[in-house]
Chain A
Amino acid sequence: IAGITQAPTSQILAAGRRMTLRCTQDMRHNAMYWYRQDLGLGLRLIHYSNTAGTTGKGEVPDGYSVSRANTDDFPLTLASAVPSQTSVYFCASSSGQGETQYFGPGTRLLVL
């Protein structure tokens, strides 16, 4: 069982470009999440999905969009990347809202 996989592992992106970070889980979890991790700020929730077909905004949603077409996949899109989006992005999943979250290995994104 792989748990949660994220792709790419790392990426350097020119400002203004569009980028989609991929996340797939094989635990049949209902809820999925996207966080960004920045030094001194911990992990901040970008978007979440409590079940397939629904999404919601987290603490720092601006500049990001998500979709949840099925249970397993939860891609995060940066429509037009800016340098302030340089961060490490983690996808997570849980069996339900308020339950323990399990994290993927992260995507390191540098926007120049």
Chain B
Amino acid sequence: QQQVKQSPQSLIVQKGGISIINCAYENTAFDYFPWYQQFPGKGPALLIAIRPDVSEKKEGRFTISFNKSAKQFSLHIMDSQPGDSATYFCAAVVDDMRFGAGTRLTVKP
């Protein structure tokens, strides 16, 4: 049973466009929501994270939107660049970390 559901599975965006990846969770005990970025042949690396006491967090071109009542959170990548092409994982943490299945993002030049 996947505790964190992520969509879409894959995403193709033109350079300069906005990439949006969505995640939903069931367990209301989750209290930390990180996003990881993974390039081919590499391990996942922390990109940005949010705690449920705020509704939005922005770091450069990356923004997390968090809707506690809907139990949903999303990653927005503004002005998407070819270098952003990677697989993105959302996760939810209480004692351990549960990952979404991942979204493969391709940004076309």
Q: Tell me, in angstroms, the Cα distance from A42 to B103 when the chains sit together.
A: 9
Q: Are A103 and B89 in contact (CB under 8 A)?
A: no
Q: Are B43 and A103 in contact (CB under 8 A)?
A: yes
Q: Are B94 and A98 in contact (CB under 8 A)?
A: yes
Q: Are A43 and B44 in contact (CB under 8 A)?
A: yes
Q: Tell me, in angstroms, the Cα distance from A44 to B29 when the chains sit together.
A: 19
Q: Tell me, in angstroms, the Cα distance from A90 to B43 when the chains sit together.
A: 7
Given A44, A97, A100, A106, which contacts B43 in the complex, CB threshold below 8 Å?
A: A106
Q: Are B95 and A40 in contact (CB under 8 A)?
A: no
Q: Are B42 and A98 in contact (CB under 8 A)?
A: no
For chain A, the bracket of interface size reads 20 to 34
Q: Are B101 and A58 in contact (CB under 8 A)?
A: no
Q: Are B49 and A100 in contact (CB under 8 A)?
A: yes
CB-CB under 8 A from B44, the residues of chain A are 43, 90, 103
Q: Are A42 and B42 in contact (CB under 8 A)?
A: no
A101 at the interface (CB under 8 A from B): yes
Given A42, A45, A105, which contacts B101 in the complex, CB threshold below 8 Å?
A: A42
Task: Tell me which residues from 7 to 61 in chain B have a Cβ below 8 Å from any Cβ of chain A.
Answer: 9, 31-32, 34, 36, 41-46, 49
CB-CB under 8 A from A106, the residues of chain B are 41-43
CB-CB under 8 A from A100, the residues of chain B are 34, 46, 49
CB-CB under 8 A from A58, the residues of chain B are 96
Q: Are B101 and A41 in contact (CB under 8 A)?
A: yes
Q: Are A42 and B89 in contact (CB under 8 A)?
A: yes
Chain A interface residues toward B at CB < 8 A: 4, 33, 40-45, 48, 58, 90, 92, 97-98, 100-106
Chain B interface residues toward A at CB < 8 A: 6, 9, 31-32, 34, 36, 41-46, 49, 89, 93-97, 99-102
Beyond A40-B9, A44-B99: 5 further Cβ-contacts under 8 Å?
A43-B44, A48-B96, A98-B32, A103-B36, A106-B42
